[in-house]
Structure formats: C-alpha cells, structure tokens
Amino acid sequence: VRSLTETVADGDEFDYVIVTLKALPDVYDVAEIIRPAVTIGKTCIVLIQNGLGIEDPVAKTFPMNPLLSVVAYIGVSQLSSGRIDMQGTELLKIGIFPKVMVDHAKQVEARDRFVGVLRRGGVDVEVIKDIQADRWQKLIWNGSFSPISVLTLGDTQLIVNNPEQKALLVNLMRDVIRVAAAHGYIFDEEATITEMFAKTARVAPGYKSSMLLDLEKGQPMEVEVILGNAYREAKAKGVAVPYLETIYTLCNAVNQREKKAREMKAAQNTPV
Amino acid sequence: VRSLTETVADGDEFDYVIVTLKALPDVYDVAEIIRPAVTIGKTCIVLIQNGLGIEDPVAKTFPMNPLLSVVAYIGVSQLSSGRIDMQGTELLKIGIFPKVMVDHAKQVEARDRFVGVLRRGGVDVEVIKDIQADRWQKLIWNGSFSPISVLTLGDTQLIVNNPEQKALLVNLMRDVIRVAAAHGYIFDEEATITEMFAKTARVAPGYKSSMLLDLEKGQPMEVEVILGNAYREAKAKGVAVPYLETIYTLCNAVNQREKKAREMKAAQNTPV
C-alpha cells in the first residue's frame, strides 16, 4: 500500500502501527496522522523515533493502546533520494512505554510478539527494561554533536579536531547528563564522555548529523525533541544548562528562519 | 595618496596615523601595516576600531609613540560598494591609551590637538578619561547582538522580537557585564540592559550588525576582538561566562569555515 487512506480502505484492523516519521511536534501531530489506522484498545503503536518526550502526545491520545518506544542505532546518511551511506552498525533497542492505561502483561505481550517478528526478519534487537535511559544516553550525543554541526555546518571530524568546539561538546554533554540525573538517570560523567568520543571516532568519523542533513535538504530539524524537551526538563527541575539553553535558542532560530524561507518560496510559487 | 608606499615615498614624517581598519589580529598585524609611516617617538597613532584589547599589540610595537584609542558610534551599514545606509547618530569618543612609555603630558597634547582638528572639521567628539569603560560598554551590545545575528542571520528586530533570543541576548549582556566588573568597570546590570534595548529600538531597529554584514560580504569577522578577547579576559579572572564562551566558539567556527571556503575558491582560481 502507498498511503494510509489506501491501507484503511479494506476495513482491516491492525495489530501494529509503526511510526518512523521524523519527530516534529511543532510541524505535525503523529497521533492525528496514525488515527485512521489505530483501533482503540487493540493496535500496538511502535515509535521508532529520535529524541525525548516523543511518547507523551501519543500516549495522551491513545491511553488504551499498547505503546512501544524504540531507539534506533543506525549509522546511516541519506545522501540523496535512494542513495544511502551506511557508516555504522544497526541495532534497535525496544521498551514498553509504561504511562498508558494498559495492563503491563498486555504491553509485554505486544512487545515480545513484535520483537519475535523482528528477530525472525534478522533484525538486531535488544529488549530494554527502561528505554528512557537509552533515550537520555542517545541524547548526550544528539544534544551535543547535532546542534554544533548545524551551527557550524561541520561534520564530526571537524568538530572534534577543533579544541574549542570539542570543549563545547563536552560542556553540552555535561548539561544533558545533569538533566538526566535530575530525572533519575545517572551516568558516570567522565566515563560517558570518554566513551562518546571513542565511539564517534570508531563508528562515525566524518559523519554528518541527521539534523545537519535535514538543514541541508531544507527540511525541518528535530530541534524540539532533541534540544527543546531536554531544556524544558532542565527548567522544570531547576537545573542550570546554559550551554544547552544557548544552543537550543540558536537552532530554534535557524529552524524558524528556514521555515519562513520555505513559506516565502511556496507563496511565490503559488498561482494567484 | 592611494597607498602607504606612495605616502611615505616623499620622505615626510607624520604627526598622526589614523587606523580605521577592521580589527582582525588573526588576519593581519596593524603595527606592521602602519610601520613605514610611523616615526618612533613622534607619530601619534590613532586607533578608530571596535573591540577590546586592540591597543596592546600596537603599544608593544611602538611603546615610544603617543597612542589614542577611539570608540566610534556610527549607525551606518555599507550595503554595497559606495552605498551607505545611515541609521543612527555619529559620535567619536576619544581617550589616551596609558600603557605606553610616553609622558602623560605628551599624550594629552597629542589628544587635544587631534580633537581640535576633528572639531574644526565639524565632527562630534567627546574626550573620555578612561576610554576602556566605553570599550566595555560598546561590547555589551557588540558581544550580544552581533554573534546572535551571525548565527541566526537575523537583524536586531528579529532577535528582539523572539523571546528566547531576547533571553539569550540578556544572558550574553550579563556575561560581558560580569567580566567588565572583574576588571573594575562596574555597570548597573539591570539599568544597562534596559538602556541597551531602548537604544536599539530607538537608533537601530531592523539593523544588521557589522559582523553579519562582514559574513554576508564573505569577509573575516571581528570575532577575536569582540568575543575572543572578552572570553580570554573572563578566563584570566576566573569569571564563568558560559553564554559568551558558547557563542565565541560558534562564531569562531563560522569564521574558520568561511576562511577555508575563501582559500579553496582562491586555490581554484589560481592558474597552475
């Protein structure tokens, strides 16, 4: 099938709806997009998306449905339509999202069945007890490398090789680690930072962040779920994150500027 | 005369050498550029430049010459070659630079004579006892509005109208005010910030900073004297300036990226 309309026309009910859309709560509402395919109390919703706080709006709209949260580790860049450059390993970490009004057993059942399907398909899957820990961990990378790459238009190599930019990376990682800690997710600061740099050198040297690729392609960037939500979580807990705050403000400005540019271009191309 | 070579060919000695070059210590050495026109112990050097710490390298090279430091307030944008857009008032604040091995009386004499010439020419001049206070004050604007404009490609209006960017402006102003205080230049934080916004709305609404104009013209930006020196002064005094630090790192990266782009372009245009 090619579209949601075509899919639901048969009257079928779905066991799973898998969301792999960019997480852009400031652009569209994922819950509204998938609504036609969701049977209340039955369909398990699977979010394979980046960022923090992506589950909440879906859980709020569909509190009676099983909800799975997946963090994907795929070192891939789409260079152009159909041209994929795979630079790292592939792994899906999967966990249940507990804050829905669904029996834990039913959530686990939905998860295990989904994991089984993936494994039979040869996908590398890891079942995680508290997937939010992985969301925070991934955010340590995405909240530091991504915004610097966007604001400097540089790849990982260029950033790491510059002592000042490397220092800023570290300060951003520390900010994120501090917010995570305030939410009960404790990372060993020094060990984590060391590992982030080691892993980047190993699997993603000269790597362009997905946020930078989005900017280059003229698409909205995942600023809100990667930086905005972390910043708001920091504010809510009274944690000072000056580096994260600055970088969020600037990336937000770039996002808004590009949006305005797209709108102006679209207006010019619209026949009167 | 059109060039320094042409100027000094006559064998004349000069009473004054007036420097209105962009302050780019990472690109060229002003002292070396003016050297042919400077008679040791005689020529008074006048620096009409932006930023902080611009006098030190000149004072070090010519410790026996009177040295004047001028802060210009001219709300002008050069939109293209020969096309000037004047948006504000014009005022020169002038002071002696005390850290040279020249009698104070001789410095004052050089200053007063220069001020006399300017005034006879109808220039609005103010004699300032400690010109560094004005350099710090101007830096509160230039160290906040300029880098945000560069990183977001926005004018003053766009920045002030966005609540998050306005908050970042304020945080940057506070950082600069704190470094200034550590050097003995005390500004009333709240009053100064309020006045900065009021003045910007009054004389520079919708104004593009000179740093942004430099970026747009593909020219090096005055990142070192506006942000770098202030950041280093903060570090030297142990003052935490996370906002200034972040913004300096990012603007520096943009400067380096543009420099590399210029060099690559130049290399391509060079016949082998």
Q: Are residues B189 and B174 in contact, defined by beta-carbon separation less than 8 angstroms?
A: yes
Mean pLDDT computed over B122-147: 96
pLDDT band at B93 (very low <50, low <70, confident <90, very high): very high
DSSP letter assigned to residue B200: H
For every residue of A30-80, DSSP letters joined together read: HHHHHGGGPPTTTPEEEEE--SSS-HHHHHHH-TTS-EEEEEEEEEEEEEE
Dihedral sign for Cα atoms in the order A229, B251, B147, A170: positive
B4-129 and B134-269 agree in CATH topology: no
Contacts of A165 in chain B (CB under 8 A): 249, 253
What kind of fold does domain A134-269 have according to CATH?
N-(1-d-carboxylethyl)-l-norvaline Dehydrogenase; domain 2 (1.10.1040)
Contacts of B154 in chain A (CB under 8 A): 253, 257
- Rounded to a whole number of angstroms, the distance from the CA of B62 to the nearest CA of chain A is 32
Question: How many Cβ atoms are within 10 Å of B269's Cβ, its own excluded?
Answer: 7
What kind of fold does domain B4-129 have according to CATH?
Rossmann fold (3.40.50)
Q: Looking at the predicted complex, does its ipTM rise above 0.90? A: no
CB contact under 8 A, A249 and B154: no
| pLDDT tens-digit series, residues B40-57 | 999 999 999 999 999 999
The C-alpha atoms of residue A211 and residue A29 are separated, in whole angstroms, by 20
| Res. B10: pLDDT tops 80 | no
Question: How many Cβ atoms are within 10 Å of B182's Cβ, its own excluded?
Answer: 14
CB contact under 8 A, A152 and B253: yes
- In A, minimum Cα distance to B167 occurs at A249
Which residues lie across from A131 on neighbouring strands?
A: none
b/e per residue, B112-139, with b = 16+ CB within 10 A?
A: eebbeebeeeeeebeebeebbbbbbbbb
Tokens of residue A171, six digits: 């300060």
- Kind of pairing, strands B125-127 and A125-127? unpaired
Counting one residue from chain A and one from chain B, the pairs whose CB atoms sit within 8 A come to 68
The rounded mean pLDDT for chain B is 93
DSSP letter assigned to residue B184: T
Contacts of B234 in chain A (CB under 8 A): none
Least confident of A98-112, B94-108, B156-170, B199-213: B199-213
The C-alpha atoms of residue A189 and residue A183 are separated, in whole angstroms, by 15
Percentage of the residues of chain B whose pLDDT score is greater than 90: 81
Give the residue extent of every domain in chain B. Answer: 4-129, 134-269
Residue B20 class from Cβ within 10 Å (0-12 exposed, 13-18 middle, 19+ buried)? exposed
pLDDT of res. B4: 78
- In B, minimum Cα distance to A159 occurs at B253
pLDDT of res. B82: 81
The C-alpha atoms of residue A44 and residue A116 are separated, in whole angstroms, by 15
Q: Are residues B213 and B84 in contact, defined by beta-carbon separation less than 8 angstroms?
A: no
Interface test with B, best of A26, A148, A150, A151 (most B CBs within 10 A): A151
For chain A of 272 residues, list the mean pLDDT of each consecutive stretch of 10: 74 92 96 95 97 97 98 78 76 96 96 96 94 97 97 94 96 98 97 95 85 95 98 97 98 95 87 66
- Rounded to a whole number of angstroms, the distance from the CA of A17 to the nearest CA of chain B is 36
CB contact under 8 A, B168 and A250: yes
